[in-house]
Structure 1
Amino acid sequence: MRIVIAGGGLGGLTCARVLKAHGIDAVVCERDASQDARVQGGTLDLTVDQGQWALREAGLEAGYRAIARPEGQDMVLYDSAGTLLRREIAPEEGEARWGRPEADRPALRKLLLDALPEDTVHWGRTVTRAEPLGDGRHRVHLSGGDILECDFLIGADGARSRIRPLLTDAEPAYCGVHGMGLVIHDADRAHPAASALVGRGSFSALGEQRTLSAQRNGDGTIRVHLALRCGEDWPETSGIPFDDPDRARAALKELYAGWPAEFLALLDATSGPISVYPLTALPIGLRWDPTPGVTLIGDAAHLMSPFAGQGANLAMRDGADLALVLAEGGDVRKFEQAMFERAEPAAQMSADNLELFLSDGAAEKVRHLFATMSGEE
């Protein structure tokens, strides 16, 4: 069976690796020109029953534990006045410390890539469209004019999937929030105050319809994130010159006027370009009719905002589950039903959390949420 996977993110690579572990080769078509063509994002916490389970199925649990940072589970939560609302410290020993340890996305991707034959990923090859040939087979058109034909096609190509139209006409919708990402380089040496504020894990502060957070990465950087409730055209109408990062940083600080100076110093410590992106999501509970020879995983199937922390976990679980079904000659529809049932509550949680974290009076609401989840209230 010739299998083509559109997209070489964590979900697609997990699928390819688990297939390989069962003696099945797949072709992964990835738009990036190479493994190091762009920054792959920040740090992720993989759960025992999803991301970590998928890596066990891929035979990579030991490799994962070598790159994971259990101490990254430390967190502090403040309100916009600087009041500490919550502090959590990761367990120092025992299996509890492996509940949701952090690992950098580039390191996870490298772990998966190193476990695949070099010719598995076709770099610089974006899937532009696909068409059914009958009997479950598909013809896949790639950038540059190449064409592949396959017996099974997997859409792991994210929010703007080119495979999704084969199954549904659903498209992502704007969630009412824009995110912004900035980076503090060489944090410990060059910016010790920012480093101390963030600690070993993450820092979050919540205000009225806006958040400021920061998270330590294993490469010595700290990634700073802003989230702001605003119109979809806000980047164009705000007047903030995002193409001039120094002026943009000053303008962004004005959006957080009155917040503690040590919090805003996180923005001062950043350097380089600022990424600005709308948060979008597919309809909660999205499903499609069975279609021979094709399915979706990850964001292509159930894109949601990052406010539940489930995206990478779900994608990797999807990829491993699908690979096992294909390897065993099982019913792909059973995989899809399990994926739908897994993704719907996560998507609902993501939508609910977005509303909560970006609401008026968010700080107290979120403090109560954490206390309730831990059984303290």
Structure 2
Amino acid sequence: MTVIIIGAGIGGLCLAQNLKKNGINVQVFERDASANQRLQGYRLHLDADGILAIKESLPEKLFQLFELTSTNPLPYTTILDTELKLSKRFPIDSYSKTEHHVETGIAKHLNVNRATLREILLMGLEDICHFGAKFDHYKTDESGVTAFFEDGRTVKGDMLVGADGAGSVVRKQRAPEATFMDSGARAIYGRIKIDEAQKVLPSLCIADVFTAVSDVRKLILGVGPIIFPVRPELASQSIGIDKTLNPQHDYVGCIVSGRKDFFGSNDAEIRKKTSDELQQLAIDLLSSWPSEASSVPAVGEKGSFFYIEMTSSIPFNLQPHPNVTLLGDAIHTMTPSLGRGANVALRDSTILSKALMKVVNGEKELATSLKEYETEMTEYGFNVVRHSAEMGTKLLGQDPLPN
């Protein structure tokens, strides 16, 4: 079997690692010119779905590297008032709707630096991961599927996986009936060096998975720590891996989010703003708060701030296809209110890997196995989309999903 993966994000790379580990021929194609072309975010919260998927997919040494560079926070989501005084502290599995992990005894939580995780997932895939490959469309016939790229190249395989994110080109052809909605929420992301964060934030903010400060308008200041047990640039050497990860420093991820009305200009105008201008906008948004909280964005790293428009998929019935499927944000984009998007994408990758192994082992036909994967993937994924929208509506004033 030859599998074509479109998209070298977290989910697509985890799938590629799993397939390679199990002896399945796989090729990954990414539209970006390099892994570092776009800033895609900072801190990621991983729950049992994500952690188990990574453990199952990576070779032992790379999983050790993942553990060495992952933060072990206290398993709480904490709510503070605008004077940074404690309001509520929730067990993270209760907040994130992952009580089923507790019930099955697999609950675990890590904070990871997204760029470092992606570097680890790329290790060993250098010869099969092709950057600067802008996917255009696919064609299928009785012998498989052919992927066509904007530069004129074509690649033939037995099946194709769209792991190309919320703007998925694969999905537009595979599931044209899929619809997405503007959630009505916006956010400015940045980060704060750990020594500066410790000066302005309570200790819980440096210890817990995530801490949110909220006002009556549902304007949120959120922070979450990344404290490396071992510096990424030193970690690989400590366990005998030749390739060195890029240097990183400890920090606290910072987000200011709320209804798009608070952000003033239209999205096109805000996208033109520089990082420094976005940092100033974040400061201005919190200017009516007591100084304890309003001063937090001001100590952020210069050049680290960027803007996102939060969208959500609208759950629908995905029709089966014999040899083209989807995973992660390409099918079930969700707002980040529960911190579960990457986890569900990683979970998708392991379910799909197991489905393909059944085909390779002669247990099932490809079309049958893909249909079963999609049934489980959409049921679980869209359920998390709904929960994320419910929490986003409650905390951020996000627009609810249509009935």
TM-score, reference length from structure 2: 0.78
Contact 1:13–1:112 (8 Å) recurs in 2: yes
Task: Specify the alignment match of 1:347 in structure 2.
Answer: 385
Give, in angstroms, the shift of residue 104 of structure 1. 1.7
Distance 2:268 2:358 in 1: 53
Q: Percent identity?
A: 25
> Given residue 206 of structure 2, which amino acid in structure 1 is its aligned partner?
G
> Given residue 372 of structure 2, which amino acid in structure 1 is its aligned partner?
K
Distance 2:268 2:121 in 1: 40
Task: Specify the alignment match of 1:149 in structure 2.
Answer: 156
1:164-190 CA-to-partner distances (Å, cap 9, x unmatched) read 123322232100111111222x331x5
> Given residue 39 of structure 1, which amino acid in structure 2 is its aligned partner?
L
SS at match of 2:289: coil
Verify: 1:222 aligned to 2:252, yes or no.
Answer: yes
Verify: 1:138 aligned to 2:145, yes or no.
Answer: yes
Distance 1:89 1:296 in 2: 32
SS at match of 1:177: strand
Task: Specify the alignment match of 2:20 in structure 1.
Answer: 20
Match for 2:175 among 160, 168, 173? 168
Verify: 1:118 aligned to 2:144, yes or no.
Answer: no
Distance 1:81 1:174 in 2: 31
Task: Specify the alignment match of 1:193 in structure 2.
Answer: 199
Deviation above 6 Å: which 4+ runs of structure 1?
A: 237-241
Give the 3 Å change call, closer, same or farther, for CA 237–37 of structure 1 in structure 2: closer
SS at match of 2:68: helix
Distance 1:283 1:137 in 2: 30
Distance 2:24 2:278 in 1: 49
Distance 1:133 1:261 in 2: 60
Give, in angstroms, the shift of residue 281 of structure 1. 0.9
Give, in angstroms, the shift of residue 242 of structure 1. 5.8
1:184-333 to 2 correspondences below 5 Å: 184=192, 186-188=193-195, 190=196, 192-194=198-200, 196=202, 198-201=205-208, 202-207=210-215, 208-218=217-227, 219-230=249-260, 234-236=264-266, 243-270=273-300, 271-272=302-303, 274-284=305-315, 286-329=316-359, 330=364, 331-333=369-371
Distance 2:272 2:80 in 1: 27
SS at match of 2:175: coil
Verify: 1:3 aligned to 2:11, yes or no.
Answer: no
> Given residue 168 of structure 2, which amino acid in structure 1 is its aligned partner?
S
Give the 3 Å change call, closer, same or farther, for CA 88–303 of structure 1 in structure 2: closer
Give, in angstroms, the shift of residue 251 of structure 1. 3.9
> Given residue 380 of structure 2, which amino acid in structure 1 is its aligned partner?
R
Structure 2 stretches lacking a partner, 5+ long: 93-104, 228-248, 399-403
Give the 3 Å change call, closer, same or farther, for CA 146–289 of structure 1 in structure 2: same
Give, in angstroms, the shift of residue 234 of structure 1. 5.0
Give the 3 Å change call, closer, same or farther, for CA 246–41 of structure 1 in structure 2: closer
Contact 1:73–1:100 (8 Å) recurs in 2: yes
TM-score, reference length from structure 1: 0.83
Distance 2:269 2:137 in 1: 40
> Given residue 149 of structure 1, which amino acid in structure 2 is its aligned partner?
K
Give, in angstroms, the shift of residue 210 of structure 1. 1.3
1:126-161 CA-to-partner distances (Å, cap 9, x unmatched) read 21x223231262222224332222220000000010
Contact 1:19–1:324 (8 Å) recurs in 2: no
Q: Which moved more, 1:73-82 or 1:212-221?
A: 73-82
Contact 2:278–2:306 (8 Å) recurs in 1: no
Contact 1:174–1:232 (8 Å) recurs in 2: no
Distance 2:326 2:106 in 1: 33
SS at match of 2:139: strand
Give, in angstroms, the shift of residue 46 of structure 1. 2.1
Give the 3 Å change call, closer, same or farther, for CA 263–233 of structure 1 in structure 2: closer
Give the 3 Å change call, closer, same or farther, for CA 119–205 of structure 1 in structure 2: same
Contact 2:188–2:308 (8 Å) recurs in 1: yes
